[in-house]
């Protein structure tokens, strides 16, 4: 390998790529190349580390208490901690004849004077994991992830008392050059917009000498000054508003305008939301699907975390569901039922449309047959809009998923008493239910009934939890990926990683009667309950983000969605492979936790 090739290899390894050209030149002069035969002991408790190793060829196995902990291959490095802390609990043994670069201990410790190098190597696993992901995700939209409301220009708030006249309020509004008036009514605050002035004063003829409170109808939508701008964008999208009020210590300090926010992000989600609101037919909604797909691609290419992308896409999809529901269901029947979505849609974790998982809850005493034709039409419209048919027929057009409250309670009772595969699968789907239209109190009632039915039923919960170990994690004992020849040497991200994590967290949430449906929120709630500690919770969330990101990338590339769960690790960048291996190790750790927690070794 030439000196130039050596330099390129070192430069490709994070965090050495952060070094200045001069520092890197000096480092290259100090790097040695070493050879060690198979079974050579490099580092142990009794054999101090003398160098930082970067593998060119071969592999090294790391053991902790006789258990294989990791295997390092070409491009990997070890063991900074042994050099920094002058102690090591592991044994590093050459597994395949090793050729490597060595940076002597004193030279490595000199490098640690560089703040960025020092910061990286002194971090724990979780922080290092996040650091690595964030570095490679840097882009012109990185502010999207970290920017707060306090970073934005805020318009002056025009605040008046409810008894002030409309005329004097407008005068004040003009003086302050604002587009809204905030009306105080004791402890309550309302907003009067230009639409209110047009509709109520100009069109309805309300006199300008009347109190401003007479035309104030909308409660304010507010956000804290220290909240993230993404949440501000989400609030605007969810509520269909052009501005939100900014608060600090429960006091109004300004107004954040949509135009300013969108200029900051150059994001088009608001246009999609407006198009959905204005849609009058299924044809109108069809035209929006391309914009939704483009929005997804843009956000992903800019490095936005998948959990934020899916949250935004879910918000827009709910608007579509609500619009289609209104097109199909007579206005007199809309408050007598609840349309729910389940699976990844219910968890707010669907990005690319996979299949429909929906159901209808009908109020007791109302004829369920009234909804047969509207629900058939609803599924048909959703299919036209790109929501594929559910292969398991979990759709409102299926009478099984269209029944009254009492009918669902009877169904839940049968699930608890009958532990066959179909019952367990239907139960799992229902646990992720989210109401998108109609009377959502109907779902709340069923959710409480569902959770109470499993109170102190650890025997049943263990049978539900067992599905976590149904599929092997595609990582060998030697930390290499296990590939499926039937899928062109690819691995299944869903079966191997996402399913056991999502299903395990879902089952724990059922046990502890946590009503959240989103996986990240469930993990946080389980941490708050003391079920899992903060460190483990963070590891699980980081692993979930990594697996979800890689799966989304695969989904955006494949033509056949049935192949969207499969990836070829050889097509990943080095840092992505490292993150994926780390994530699979956390999945294995979580499986062990579930086996112990539910005593799964005793479940037949």
Q: φ, ψ for residue 386 (rounded to 5)?
A: 100, 5
Distance CA 428, CA 32 (A): 56
Please identify which residue in the block is written with the tokens 């004992």.
477
Burial degree of 121 (CB within 10 A; 0-12, 13-18, 19+)? middle
Which tens digit of pLDDT belongs to each residue from 555-598?
888 877 777 889 988 888 777 888 898 899 999 999 999 999 99
Which tens digit of pLDDT belongs to each residue from 276-326?
877 888 988 887 777 777 777 777 776 677 888 888 888 888 989 999 999
Q: What angle do CA 430, 469, 524 make, to 5 degrees?
A: 55
Report whether pLDDT(393) > 70.
yes
CB 93 within 8 A of CB 505: no
Find out if CATH 1.20.120 is the number for domain 465-602. yes
For residues 206, 212, 213, 215, the Cα torsion angle rounded to the nearest 10 degrees is 40
Which numeric CATH code is attached to 148-265? 3.10.580.10
CB 359 within 8 A of CB 401: yes
CB 48 within 8 A of CB 66: no
Which tens digit of pLDDT belongs to each residue from 7-44?
777 777 777 777 888 888 888 888 889 999 999 999 99
CA gyration radius, the chain: 29
Q: φ, ψ for residue 168 (rounded to 5)?
A: -65, -30
Q: 496: closest CA among 484, 505, 486, 507?
A: 484
Assign 116 to helix, strand or coil.
helix
Q: Which CATH number fits domain 3-122: 3.40.50.1000, 1.10.10.10, 1.10.132.20, 2.60.120.10?
A: 2.60.120.10
Q: 153: closest CA among 308, 258, 270?
A: 258
Strands (E), 22-90: 32-36, 41-43, 51-64, 67-72, 77-78
The pLDDT value given to residue 304: 73
Q: Do domains 3-122 and 148-265 have the same CATH topology?
A: no
Q: 272: closest CA among 257, 287, 258, 256?
A: 287
Q: What angle do CA 493, 495, 496 make, to 5 degrees?
A: 60
| C-alpha pair distances (Å), 600 with each of 371, 372, 416, 428 | 42, 42, 18, 18
Report whether pLDDT(509) > 90.
yes
Domain ranges of the chain: 3-122, 148-265, 269-415+433-439, 465-602
What count of other Cβ atoms lies within 10 Å of the Cβ of residue 455?
9
Q: 350: closest CA among 306, 381, 386, 320?
A: 306
The pLDDT value given to residue 159: 92
Distance CA 232, CA 264 (A): 12
pTM comes to 0.68
β pairing state of 337-341 and 358-362: antiparallel
Type and span of the H or E element at 100:
strand 91-104
pLDDT top residue among 439 and 353? 439
Which tens digit of pLDDT belongs to each residue from 114-157?
777 776 776 655 565 565 555 555 444 445 556 788 878 788 89
Strands (E), 439-547: 491-492
Q: Which CATH architecture has domain 269-415+433-439?
A: 2-Layer Sandwich (3.30)
The pLDDT value given to residue 140: 42
Average per-residue pLDDT for the chain = 86
Please identify which residue in the block is written with the tokens 């941490």.
527
For 140, half-sphere exposure in the C-beta direction (CA atoms, 13 angstrom radius) is 5
For 32, half-sphere exposure in the C-beta direction (CA atoms, 13 angstrom radius) is 11
Which tens digit of pLDDT belongs to each residue from 223-263?
999 998 878 888 888 887 888 999 999 899 999 988 777 65
Distance CA 265, CA 269 (A): 10
């Amino acid at each position: 390998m030439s000196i130039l090739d050596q330099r390129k290899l070192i430069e490709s390894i994070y965090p050495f790529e952060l070094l200045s050209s001069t520092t890197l030149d000096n480092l290259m002069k100090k790097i040695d190349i070493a050879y060690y035969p198979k079974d050579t002991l490099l580092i142990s408790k009794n054999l101090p580390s003398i160098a930082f190793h970067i593998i060119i060829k071969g592999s090294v196995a790391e053991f902790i208490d006789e258990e294989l902990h990791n295997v390092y291959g070409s491009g990997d490095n070890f063991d900074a901690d042994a050099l920094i802390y002058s102690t090591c609990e592991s044994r590093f043994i050459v597994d395949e004849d090793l050729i490597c670069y060595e940076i002597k201990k004193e030279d490595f410790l000199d490098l640690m004077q560089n703040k960025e190098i020092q910061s990286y190597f002194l971090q724990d696993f979780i922080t290092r994991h996040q650091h690595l992901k964030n570095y490679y995700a840097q882009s012109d939209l990185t502010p999207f992830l970290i920017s707060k409301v306090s970073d934005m220009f805020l318009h002056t708030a025009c605040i008046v008392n409810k008894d002030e006249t409309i005329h004097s309020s407008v005068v004040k509004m003009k003086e302050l050059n604002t587009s809204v008036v905030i009306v105080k009514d004791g402890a309550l605050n309302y907003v009067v917009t230009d639409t209110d002035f047009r509709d109520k004063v100009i069109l309805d003829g309300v006199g300008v000498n009347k109190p401003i409170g007479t035309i104030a109808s909308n409660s304010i939508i507010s956000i804290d000054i220290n909240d993230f701008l993404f949440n501000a964008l989400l609030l605007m999208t969810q509520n269909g508003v052009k501005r939100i009020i900014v608060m600090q210590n429960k006091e109004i300090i300004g107004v954040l305008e949509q135009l300013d926010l969108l200029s900051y992000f150059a994001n088009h989600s608001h246009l999609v939301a407006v198009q959905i609101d204005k849609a009058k037919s299924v044809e109108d909604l069809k035209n929006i699907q391309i914009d939704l797909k483009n929005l997804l691609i843009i956000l992903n290419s800019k490095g936005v975390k998948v959990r934020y992308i899916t949250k935004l896409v879910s918000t827009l999809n709910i608007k579509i569901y609500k619009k289609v529901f209104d097109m199909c269901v007579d206005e007199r029947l809309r408050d007598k039922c609840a349309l729910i979505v389940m699976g990844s849609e219910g968890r707010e974790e669907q990005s690319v449309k996979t299949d429909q998982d929906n159901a209808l809850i009908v109020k007791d005493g109302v004829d369920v047959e009234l909804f047969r034709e509207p629900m058939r039409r609803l599924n048909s419209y959703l299919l036209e809009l790109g929501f594929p048919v559910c292969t398991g027929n979990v759709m409102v057009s299926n009478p099984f998923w269209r029944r009254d409250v009492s009918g669902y309670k009877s169904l839940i009772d049968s699930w608890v008493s009958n532990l066959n595969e179909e019952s367990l699968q239907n139960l799992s789907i229902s646990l992720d239910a989210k109401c998108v239209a109609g009377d959502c109190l109907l779902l709340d009632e069923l959710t409480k009934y569902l959770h109470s039915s499993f109170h102190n039923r650890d025997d049943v919960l263990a049978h539900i939890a067992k599905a976590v170990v149904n599929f092997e994690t595609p990582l060998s004992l030697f930390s290499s990926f296990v590939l499926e020849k039937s899928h062109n040497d690819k691995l299944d991200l869903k079966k191997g990683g996402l399913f056991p994590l999502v299903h395990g967290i879902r089952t724990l949430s059922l046990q502890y009667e946590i009503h959240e449906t989103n996986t990240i929120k469930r993990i946080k709630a389980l941490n708050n309950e003391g079920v899992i500690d903060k460190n483990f919770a963070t590891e699980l969330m980081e692993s979930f983000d990594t697996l979800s990101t890689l799966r989304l990338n695969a989904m955006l590339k494949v033509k056949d969605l049935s192949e969207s769960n499969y990836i070829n690790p050889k097509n990943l960048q080095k840092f992505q492979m490292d993150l994926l291996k780390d994530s699979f190790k956390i999945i294995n750790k979580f499986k062990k936790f579930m086996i112990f927690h539910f005593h799964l070794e005793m479940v037949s």
